[in-house]
Structure 1
Amino acid sequence: MRHAPYELALESKISGARPVYRFYTADGVCSKQSFRNAELLLIESLWGVDLGRLLALEANYGVVGVVLADRSVSVSMVESSARAVQLCERNARENSVDAATALVADVTALGDTFDTVAYAPKPYTPLSVGKQRIVDGLSVLQPDGSLYLAASKQTGLTRYERCLRETAATVEQVAEYDGCALLEATRPRSFERPAYVSPREIRPEIDGVTLSLVTVSGLFSPSKLDDGTRLLLETITVEDGERVLDLCCGYGAIGTYAGRVADCDLWLSDDDAVATSCAECSLRASRVDGTVVTADCAEGIADQTFDRVLCNPPTHAGGGVLSELFSGVHDVLAPDGELEIVHHREVDLRSHLSPFGTVERLRTGDEYIVLRVSN
């Protein structure tokens, strides 16, 4: 991430707290220009609690972890987004906070335990994913440790509370603020983590080539290959010997197809650790060799050069993400290389593609357009 253009200031009147905490944010993270009520509720309610070793689950840009670091023996902030992890690290430095950060698809992979877990589900989190993170949080607690969940009815409070009552030893509402409620749940002495999110395999066929793709809830188009990606794959040609990058790979549909139709040096990259975990599984299931990287935009492959970059870009992520994404592609594309992308017909990418010399429309579908771009 090259720029964090938004700055937020959180003033405090609580005894023992710093007068102001400052946070840098950017396109591509949740609530980039304002603090979320759920996180403010966590901060205010937990300030006077003996937190011990604190885990901030899906920490976004670090508000909960940074503020409560002064009240914890230690604090860890985990995220599935590489961009969010960078912001957590920067905001810890800006506020002179000692905090560990980790980019993980599954928090249980940390191999560590905590006294307290704090979690404020993001508004767009699928309920099954939110429930899985709740029980994952319970599973990394010390026996009798506490998980604090802050949510509103709009973000799934009722179902999350039901999930906790089915899995935790005790559940109690301890605070509320402006439509959000804070639940405290304790881990039972004996705990077997249930599975609310399980990998599934889809097998789309493109021009006679059948792919085995592994997906989970929460990723883009998890139940079937989306129409835009299908149009792109039906349009492109990948040659033997090319160095090929599937950028914003999701669960790896584009890269897996490229590896099936050509003997190429294949790379896949995505910001989301859950997505890249699935992409690795998709390559194995389809018997394709490739290198998978979890990184923001093109940062994970900035030292590489590619003959062909293939991308279904996250046009919903904001202009800042798209500008950095395509600027990074410009830097890693070989002089005679090509970028082939698909986007919705109503999206205008001209300003983001301005660094390139040539933009050519290859195909127009009912809803999507495939472009070929070169330096």
Structure 2
Amino acid sequence: MRRTPYELTLESRASDARPTYRFHTADSVHSKRSFRDTELLLVERLWNTDLGHLLNPAANYGVVGTVLAGCATTVHMTESSARAAQLCERNAAENGADVTTTLAADVATLDETFETVAYAPKPYTPLSVGKQRLANALSVLRPGGTLYLAASKQTGLTRYEACLREMAATVEQVSERNGCTVLESTPPPSFEPQSYVSPRTIHPEVNGTTLSLVTVPGLFSASKLDDGTRLLLETVTIEDGEAVLDLCCGYGAIGAYAGRVADCEVWLSDDDCVATSCAERSLRASGVDGTVVTADGVASVAHHTFDSVLCNPPTHAGSDVLSELFDGVYDVLAADGELTIVHHRELDLRSHLSRYEAVEKRRTGTDHVVLSVTA
């Protein structure tokens, strides 16, 4: 992440807190231009609480964990997005907060337990994913620990409260303002988290090659291979001996296909560790050897050179993300290499590809376009 174009300032009314907190944000993180009401209510409710060792899952750019570091014994923030995790680390450091940040899809994999969990779910989370996060959060609480959840109707308050009443020993509404509510819950004496998110294997056929791809709810096009990726795969030619990068790999369809149709070196990269976990399983299920990394753009492959970079980019993530993404590809593309992109026909990505010498339209489908880009 080269730029953090947005900065938010939070003024404190508490005498024992910093007078001002400053947070850097960027494209692709939720609520990049304003603080979330649920997070502010959660911070306000917990400031004078004995938090002990605090866990802040799905921390976004770190507001809750950074501020509450001033009254907790320790703070551990987690994020599944590499980009968001970078922002958490930067914001904690710049506000003098002693915080640990971990890139993790599942807090149950952390090798520690906590007295307090503070969680403000993001909007549009699938119900099964939300239930899994709550179950995992309850499972890492120490005896006598407390889970605080802040939500509004827009972010799923009703369904989250119903989930907690299924799992927790106690659930109580302890704070409310402007349509946002903080729920306080405690785990039962004995609690083993149930599995609510079940991986699914799909078997699309492309150009006569059948793939085995592992997906979970919440990933892009989790139920079937999307039309854009299919069009890209039907367009490209992958040669033996090439080094191929599946950039923004999702659950790994492009990388798995490349490894099946050619004797090539395959790398896959995505910002989301949930996606890369599935991509690793997709490679194994499809019988492909490859390297999968979780990173913001090309950050973890910057020391490599690729003959072919294939990408179905996250066009919803924002202009800065796309510009950084394609600028990064320019630096890892071989002198005679090629970047192949698929995007919706209504979009125009030319402004993000200004560093490149040639941009050619390779194929047009019903809703998508495949571009060939050379340095």
TM-score range, shorter chain: over 0.9
**SS at the partner of 1:228?**
helix
Please state how far the C-alpha of 1:345 moved relative to its aligned partner: 0.4
Match of residue 97 from structure 2: 97
* CA shift digits 1:217-269 (9 cap, x unpaired): 01000000000001001111100000000000000000000000000000000
Q: In structure 2, how many angstroms separate the alpha carbons of the residues matched to 1:347 and 1:117? A: 41
Match of residue 313 from structure 2: 313
Q: In structure 1, how many angstroms separate the alpha carbons of the residues matched to 2:191 and 2:145? A: 12
Match of residue 80 from structure 2: 80
Match of residue 23 from structure 1: 23
Please state how far the C-alpha of 1:108 moved relative to its aligned partner: 1.1
Match of residue 273 from structure 2: 273
Match of residue 184 from structure 1: 184
Match of residue 137 from structure 2: 137
Q: In structure 2, how many angstroms separate the alpha carbons of the residues matched to 1:243 and 1:332? A: 11
Residues 17-96 of structure 1: matches in 2 within 5 Å?
A: 17-96=17-96
Q: In structure 2, how many angstroms separate the alpha carbons of the residues matched to 1:151 and 1:9? A: 22
Q: In structure 1, how many angstroms separate the alpha carbons of the residues matched to 2:295 and 2:330? A: 17
Residues 293-304 of structure 1: matches in 2 within 5 Å?
A: 293-304=293-304
Look up the equivalent residue of 1:210 and give its one-letter code. Answer: T
Match of residue 262 from structure 1: 262
Residues 117-196 of structure 1: matches in 2 within 5 Å?
A: 117-196=117-196
Q: In structure 2, how many angstroms separate the alpha carbons of the residues matched to 1:176 and 1:196? A: 29
Match of residue 202 from structure 1: 202
* CA shift digits 1:277-321 (9 cap, x unpaired): 000000000110000000001111111100000000000000010
* CA shift digits 1:78-131 (9 cap, x unpaired): 000000000000001110111000001211111210000011111122222111
Over aligned residue pairs, what C-alpha RMSD do you find?
Answer: 0.6
Match of residue 3 from structure 1: 3
Look up the equivalent residue of 1:92 and give its one-letter code. Answer: A
Q: In structure 2, how many angstroms separate the alpha carbons of the residues matched to 1:277 and 1:94? A: 31
**SS at the partner of 1:351?**
helix
Look up the equivalent residue of 1:335 and give its one-letter code. Answer: A
Q: In structure 2, how many angstroms separate the alpha carbons of the residues matched to 1:307 and 1:145? A: 52
Q: In structure 2, how many angstroms separate the alpha carbons of the residues matched to 1:282 and 1:156? A: 31
Match of residue 243 from structure 1: 243
Q: Which runs of 5+ in 2 are unaligned?
A: none
Q: In structure 1, how many angstroms separate the alpha carbons of the residues matched to 2:320 and 2:122? A: 20
**SS at the partner of 1:190?**
coil
Check whether the contact 1:229–1:342 (CA below 8 A) recurs between aligned residues: yes
Check whether the contact 1:168–1:185 (CA below 8 A) recurs between aligned residues: yes
Check whether the contact 1:53–1:75 (CA below 8 A) recurs between aligned residues: yes
Please state how far the C-alpha of 1:188 moved relative to its aligned partner: 1.4
Residue 290 in 1 paired to residue 295 in 2? no
**SS at the partner of 1:221?**
coil
Check whether the contact 1:306–1:333 (CA below 8 A) recurs between aligned residues: yes
* CA shift digits 1:21-64 (9 cap, x unpaired): 00000001000010000100100000011000000110000000
Please state how far the C-alpha of 1:343 moved relative to its aligned partner: 0.1
Q: In structure 2, how many angstroms separate the alpha carbons of the residues matched to 1:22 and 1:179? A: 25
Q: In structure 1, how many angstroms separate the alpha carbons of the residues matched to 2:242 and 2:170? A: 57
Q: In structure 2, how many angstroms separate the alpha carbons of the residues matched to 1:106 and 1:300? A: 21
**SS at the partner of 1:27?**
coil
Q: In structure 1, how many angstroms separate the alpha carbons of the residues matched to 2:242 and 2:363? A: 22
Q: In structure 1, how many angstroms separate the alpha carbons of the residues matched to 2:76 and 2:192? A: 23
Q: In structure 2, how many angstroms separate the alpha carbons of the residues matched to 1:357 and 1:14? A: 56
**SS at the partner of 2:136?**
helix
Instruction: List structure 1 runs of 4+ shifted beyond 2 angstroms.
Output: none
Q: In structure 1, how many angstroms separate the alpha carbons of the residues matched to 2:220 and 2:195? A: 20
Check whether the contact 1:144–1:188 (CA below 8 A) recurs between aligned residues: no
**SS at the partner of 1:340?**
strand
Q: Which runs of 5+ in 1 are unaligned?
A: none
Q: In structure 1, how many angstroms separate the alpha carbons of the residues matched to 2:341 and 2:201? A: 25
* CA shift digits 1:153-199 (9 cap, x unpaired): 12111111111011011000000111111101101110010111110
Q: In structure 1, how many angstroms separate the alpha carbons of the residues matched to 2:144 and 2:65? A: 21
**SS at the partner of 2:237?**
coil
* CA shift digits 1:309-339 (9 cap, x unpaired): 0000000000010010000000000000000
Please state how far the C-alpha of 1:144 moved relative to its aligned partner: 2.1
Q: In structure 1, how many angstroms separate the alpha carbons of the residues matched to 2:348 and 2:121? A: 31
Please state how far the C-alpha of 1:15 moved relative to its aligned partner: 2.3
Match of residue 330 from structure 1: 330
Residues 210-229 of structure 1: matches in 2 within 5 Å?
A: 210-229=210-229
Which moves more between the two structures, 120-129 or 2-11? Answer: 120-129
